[in-house]
Every structure is written in structure tokens, then in C-alpha cells.
Amino acid sequence: MTDEIKLIKRIKHGDMEAFSQLVAIYEKKAFNFAYRMLHDYGEAEDATQEAFLKVFDKIDTFNGKSSFSTWFFTVLNNLCLDMLRKRSRSAGAVSLNQTTTEDDEYELQVEDNSPGPYEQLQKKNAKEVLEQALTLISDEHRAVIVMREINEMEYEEIAQILGVSLGTVKSRISRARLALRKILEESKELFI
Amino acid sequence: MANCKEILNLIPLYADNVLAESEKDMVRRHIDSCKKCKQEFQFMTSIVSTAAELPEISVPDDFHKKLIAKAAVSARRKRTKRLSLYKQIGTVAAVAAVFALCVVSFGNMEKQPNIATNPDDYIVETPKASENPVSIIVKDEDTSEENRTDISKELSKEAVKFQKSISKKTTPSAEQKEDIDNTTPILKNPSTAEVAGSNTHPDISGATSGASAVMEEEIARYTVATVVVTENMSEQVTNILSSYEKDDIGYKVSDINTVIRSLAELGVTVEAKICDNIMNNYIIVED
């Protein structure tokens, strides 16, 4: 039995120390995921805390069929996407452009009234430019980029978290990278 | 030969080494020979590696402490809710148990053996002719309240037997007449001819056991109305009573109130009494 499974078993029996240890294992990765998704320190803290509390409340339902990491990041990803949707709604009217892709997946392209992505980018260094570019791609594209590039998750785990097929994950990652590449075209010289 | 557009779409996944072997070979051969696509491949791999090297954001200092405190509150709330639920379940279970007990008890009441089918449980003494012939003394071994109804059924049968025995006589016996005369009179004034009589159970007087003592409360009372008829009214009275059966005691009248009213309207004197020891309402005509 892995250490993580032992911890979860103790948490099910009300062991708060075990929960504290589990939080310590995941809090950095979880917080960074939330920050990269939301690009807001306060919201990232709220989302991460809420995700931990949710899994704590429902710990009895965790049956170990998937890994705890998969379960936890599913909850956290959904919380972040909910917060982003609420933010979009409160920011004003948005127009949604839906296009079908090869694998029949609808792709949302959210347009708003702020200046275009190329005008926004400040030519500082590649990392700063990339951080800004991340805020300009769609929420769904950002999620797979953060999971793959920043959290270094495998394709299979990303598929489980998103609840989609491996083929859909590959397709989504490919399109997300191409979307980033398009935004970063003007700053190409920073990367090569 | 693959075109650049096709290769550009495959480069993101080529960078992750997740393409099929045939696609991998195709891309490798192309970028080896195409400067533009080679540059694209380098751009893509740089984006990917730069993303992986983005600085780690520090977790807020009090993040852990705040989270554990919130979790502790949530755990306490859950425990309280569970205890409250257990209490509710306990209460419901207790109520259900009491209800089930009542249902079982009630079911047992109804399933008590019919006394009529188990007469040996009871000692029925039929009185001798020299004693009060209408008294039936029942000694009941089981004096529980549940058996009242069944005892009354058995006593009814005894009373029917008794009635058949007395109907053979031509005139009421002296004891019977005495019983009729000595019962409490409830009506002397013929104008108020409302007399109640109930026909539920036979009368048992002199009963001494607990069960039969209970039976006295359920004893039926019948009315005997004595009508004093003058010569000129005799025919009219006879007409009214002609449709009723007559036995040794008198006319057996079920709707005695109606008949008494009719007789009273004729101007005859009607004296009615509630009697024990009889099985019907009677009108006795006296000249």
C-alpha cells in the first residue's frame, strides 16, 4: 500500500494530521495550476482551498479506482473553469464562435473588447511573453497547456481529468500549442 | 511527399514524441529537407520548454494553516450532522418498534381462539327448573377483556336454547311473570310512548364471574307493554296486533314504539316496562 493510500485511509477515519500531510504533498502543484489558469493570486488561493475542502468532504467516496492526483485535479480544473466562466459573464457580453473540429469537438473562441493579443505583448523575455500569451488563449487550451507543460502530466492522466479520449487530448494539445505559436509569432525572435 | 501545412500540424505532437511511427518518419524526413519547417519545429520545442521553465509561484504563507482550520470545522459539522441523523433514525426506529408491537398485539387479539369452538374452556351450568330458569351462570377461566365478545356469542346460544324451552309452555311460568313484574318500570304514561329496547345480547342475571359481570353491561333490555283493553276497543286493538306473532307471553312486537303509539292513540292504557329475562319486545293484552 502506497504512502498516499495509507494517508487517505487515515483521513477517512478522521485523522486531520494525515490530511495535513496530503495537502503538503499537493499544495504547490495545485496552487500553481490554479494560478496559471486564473492568473490571479487571490482567486488561485480560493480555488485551491475549495478543491482541497471538497475532496476532504467527499473522501469517503474515493474508492482508489483512479489515482488521488487525477481525482483532485479534476475537481480543481472544474473549479477554475467555473471561476473563469463567471469572470467572463461579469466582464460583459461575449460572442462565442463555435467550430467543429476533426474529432467533432466544439472549440470555443471567446472574443472580448480588449486590445488584440499582439498589441498586448510586451517584448521582455520569452517567459514573460509566454505568461501573457497563456492568458490570451481559450480556457480549455490553457488547461491542457498547464497540465502538460507546467504540471508535466502524461497524456493518459490529462484524458482522465478532462473525461475525454486520448485522441481528443492529442488533438487539443496540438491546437493549443498552435494557438500559442500564433500569438507568439511577433515575438519569435525571443524563442529561436 | 507531405506538404508543409500538413507537417506544421503534426509538429506539436512530434515534439512530444506521441506520433505513430509512420507519421514520425514522415515529419523527420521533411524537416531534415525543409528549412522553414525545421525552423517551425525549433520554435515549437522552444515554446514547450519555456512553458515548462515558467517560475513556480509561491503558495501563500498562511495557506496551509487556514485550510486545515476550515477542514476541522467541516469535519465537526459533519460529525454533528451524523449524530443528529443517528438520533432521528433512533427516534423513527423506536416509533416503528412501538407501532409494530401494537400491530402484533392487535393481531393476537383477533387471533384468540373462538370460544365457540373450544367450549371445554368454559363451564356452563344450566340452572335447574326449580331455580331461576332464565339465569345462566358462566364461569370463564379466561376473564381477559378480549374474550368478552366471544363469551357473549356463547351466551347467546345458551339464551336461544332457553327461549326455545320456554316457548313450549302455554303460559308464562310464575317465576317468569314475577321477573317481568319486578323489573324496573320506565313508562306508565301512555302519551309518552317512546320506549327503548335493544336487541344485542341476551339477558343474564345473577352472573357472578368476572367475565359475566362484564357481560351485564352489554345485556339487552326488552320492553314489555301491558295494554288494558276495554270491550269496545278490543276489536281495534286486535286489528293492530293481528299481524304480530303471539306466544305464551304475549304478542312479539319488534317495532314496539310504533305499536304503543298506535295503541295510545286509540285511548287505551299502556304500561311499558324494560324487562330482563325475555328475548323480545312484548305487548300483553289484559281485559
For B137-162, b where at least 16 C-beta lie within 10 A, e where not — what string?
Answer: bbebeeeeeebbebbbebbeeebeeb
Model confidence over B126-164: pLDDT tens digits?
Answer: 444 444 443 333 344 444 444 444 444 554 455 455 445
B48 shares contact with chain A (CB less than 8 Å): yes
Per-residue pLDDT of chain A (192 residues; tens, 9 = 90+): 688 999 999 999 999 999 999 999 999 999 999 999 999 999 999 999 999 999 999 999 998 888 999 999 999 999 999 999 998 887 764 444 333 344 433 343 444 444 445 545 555 789 999 999 999 999 999 999 999 999 999 999 999 999 999 999 999 999 999 999 999 998 888 888
Nearest to B50 among A32, A41, A130 (CB): A130
Residues facing residue B283 across a β-bridge: B225, B251
Report CA torsion sign: B25, B31, B37, B41: positive
* DSSP 8-class letter at B218: T
Q: CB A28 to CB B59 under 8 A?
A: yes
Q: Which residues in chain A are closer than 8 Å to B18, comparing Cβ atoms?
A: 155, 170
Show the 3-state SS of chain A.
CCHHHHHHHHHHCCCHHHHHHHHHHHHHHHHHHHHHHHCCHHHHHHHHHHHHHHHHHCHHHCCCCCCHHHHHHHHHHHHHHHHHHHHHHHHCCCEEEEEECCCCCEEEEEECCCCCHHHHCCCCCHHHHHHHHHHHCCHHHHHHHHHHHHCCCCHHHHHHHHCCCHHHHHHHHHHHHHHHHHHCHHHHHHCC
Helices (H), chain B: 4-14, 21-33, 35-52, 63-110, 148-167, 174-182, 210-217, 234-241, 256-266
**ipTM, 2 decimals?**
0.81
Assigned C-alpha cell, B110: 383477533
Model confidence over B81-119: pLDDT tens digits?
Answer: 877 877 888 888 888 888 888 888 887 776 655 544 454
Q: Which of A130, A151, A185 to mutate to test the interface with B (most CBs of B within 10 A)?
A: A130
B174 shares contact with chain A (CB less than 8 Å): no
User: Is residue B193 a contact partner of residue B260, using CB atoms and an 8 Å limit?
Assistant: yes
Q: CB A178 to CB B59 under 8 A?
A: no
Nearest to A181 among B44, B54, B72 (CB): B44
User: Is residue B140 a contact partner of residue B153, using CB atoms and an 8 Å limit?
Assistant: no
Q: Which of the two residues, B66 and B271, has the higher pLDDT score?
A: B66
Q: Which residues in chain B are closer than 8 Å to A177, comparing Cβ atoms?
A: 12, 15, 44, 47-48
Radius of gyration of chain B (CA): 51
Model confidence over A58-95: pLDDT tens digits?
Answer: 999 998 888 999 999 999 999 999 999 998 887 764 44
Place of cell 363451564: B123
Per DSSP, the three-state class of B183 is coil
Nearest to A20 among B47, B51, B68 (CB): B68
Model confidence over B22-61: pLDDT tens digits?
Answer: 999 999 999 999 999 999 999 999 999 999 999 999 999 9
Q: CB B54 to CB A20 under 8 A?
A: no
Q: Which of A25, A170, A174, A175 to mutate to test the interface with B (most CBs of B within 10 A)?
A: A174
Which chain A residue has its CA at the smallest distance from B8's CA? A178
Cα-flanking dihedrals φ and ψ of residue A37, to 5°? -75, -45
Chain A residues with CB-CB distance to B under 8 A? Answer: 14, 16, 19-20, 23-24, 27-28, 31-32, 35-36, 41, 44-45, 48-49, 52-53, 56-57, 126-127, 130-131, 134, 145, 148-150, 152, 155, 170, 173-174, 177-178, 180-181, 184, 188, 191-192
Closest chain A C-alpha to B106 CA, distance in angstroms: 44
Nearest to B64 among A23, A41, A173 (CB): A23
Confidence (pTM):
0.55
The whole-angstrom separation of Cα A168 and Cα A160 is 11
Assigned C-alpha cell, A164: 475525454
Q: Which residues in chain B are closer than 8 Å to A53, comparing Cβ atoms?
A: 67, 70-71, 74
**A41-57 and A68-91 helices, crossing angle to 10°:** 130
User: Is residue A75 a contact partner of residue A51, using CB atoms and an 8 Å limit?
Assistant: yes
Which chain A residue has its CA at the smallest distance from B47's CA? A191
Per DSSP, the three-state class of B271 is strand
Q: Which residues in chain A are closer than 8 Å to B52, comparing Cβ atoms?
A: 149-150, 152
Per DSSP, the three-state class of B225 is strand
Closest chain B C-alpha to A116 CA, distance in angstroms: 20
B20 shares contact with chain A (CB less than 8 Å): no
Nearest to B54 among A14, A57, A150 (CB): A150
The whole-angstrom separation of Cα B116 and Cα B177 is 32
Q: CB B57 to CB A31 under 8 A?
A: yes
pLDDT bin (cut points 50, 70, 90) of residue B261 is confident
Q: Which of the two residues, B17 and B178, has the higher pLDDT score?
A: B17
- Check residue B161 and give its pLDDT: 52
